Structure 1
Amino acid sequence: MIRKAFLRDCQEIARLSSQLGYPVDVSQLEERLKCISNHNDHIVYVMESNHVLFGWIHANVRFLIESPPFVEIAGLVVDSAYRGNGIGKQLVQACEQWAAQSGFTKIRVRTNQTRSDAVQFYNRIGFTIKKSQLVLDKEI
């Protein structure tokens, strides 16, 4: 079952985030999900059965000066034990439906080039590579 994420899901969302390589403290995740849940331009879906999450996806609306607004997938992870069963595709489809119902005509995702399995997954479900780029951070 795909549904919106709730605060009670934070333990499982954190478990899955660690599988993606982004360990997160559950209390920090709770604060982030509270904030995200207060914004209509964000959505977090989970696929769940018997209180166990098989995956989650987070998408948000992007408004940029140089291009029309679009929806961007900010994060997607499927439990490593269940990959290859169509869960990721269903989660992406849920975001596509949310985007279309919200009036958007484009959905974007960014992935690390080293995640060749992710690139192949997105290609298989209709995404095309538009450009490569570097991400630069600066602590302030």
Structure 2
Amino acid sequence: MFHREGVVILIRKAFLSDSQEIARLSSQLGYPVNVSQLEERLQYISNHNDHIVYVMESSHVLFGWIHANVRFLIESTPFVEIAGLVVDSAYRGNGIGKQLVQACEQWAAESGFTKIRVRTNQTRSDAVQFYNRIGFTIKKSQHVLDKEI
């Protein structure tokens, strides 16, 4: 829990009732999502202990959210990956993103993991700079290829 100018700001696990606010924030970053689809995804995630979604809120208004999950790959030691992070555009630059990342780092460490990873689009130079400032280093660049099936 954080206090800022007399306002209580809380980092907590996301609830299904946060779906509308999570969708609002997601669309700010260019990822519009239907609220009912988001509710289904959040329900799935909440039932799997290898995922975590945290929100930062005050008086039922979200300032940001973060989703992380455990990654088990054949060729790598298991790690935690940040799957999404959004801070409300009106509140960026106030340490919210850093605090949400720290919450995931704590969850990862408590779960026995020693590495956290994030992927970001190369065109999001502000995101790359943000992650560099809080201790992430670029390991590689890659292409993401999708195929509809």
**Which interval holds the TM-score relative to the shorter structure?**
over 0.9
Measure, in 2, the Cα distance between the counterparts of 1:128 and 1:22.
Answer: 25
1:114 corresponds in structure 2 to 123
Q: Which runs of 4+ in 1 moved over 6 A?
A: none
Measure, in 2, the Cα distance between the counterparts of 1:131 and 1:21.
Answer: 24
Measure, in 1, the Cα distance between the counterparts of 2:49 and 2:80.
Answer: 12
CA RMSD of aligned residues (A): 0.2
Deviation at 1:103, TM superposition (A): 0.2
What secondary structure is seen at the aligned counterpart in 1 of 2:91? coil
Query: What does the per-residue CA deviation read over 1:2-27, in whole Å, with 9 as the maximum and x for residues that have no partner?
Result: 00000000000000000111000000
Query: What does the per-residue CA deviation read over 1:13-44, in whole Å, with 9 as the maximum and x for residues that have no partner?
Result: 00000011100000000000000111000000
The correspondence for 2:44, drawn from 35, 38, 60, is 35
Aligned-pair identity (%): 93
The correspondence for 2:77, drawn from 51, 68, 80, is 68
Query: What does the per-residue CA deviation read over 1:48-98, in whole Å, with 9 as the maximum and x for residues that have no partner?
Result: 000000000000000000000000000000000000000000000000000
Deviation at 1:137, TM superposition (A): 0.2
TM-score (norm 2): 0.94
Measure, in 2, the Cα distance between the counterparts of 1:21 and 1:117.
Answer: 15
Measure, in 2, the Cα distance between the counterparts of 1:67 and 1:78.
Answer: 30
> What are the ranges of 5 or more consecutive residues in structure 2 without an aligned counterpart?
1-9
What secondary structure is seen at the aligned counterpart in 2 of 1:68? strand
What secondary structure is seen at the aligned counterpart in 2 of 1:18? helix
What secondary structure is seen at the aligned counterpart in 1 of 2:18? helix
Measure, in 2, the Cα distance between the counterparts of 1:20 and 1:99.
Answer: 25
Deviation at 1:122, TM superposition (A): 0.1
2:135 corresponds in structure 1 to 126
How many residue pairs end up in the alignment?
A: 140
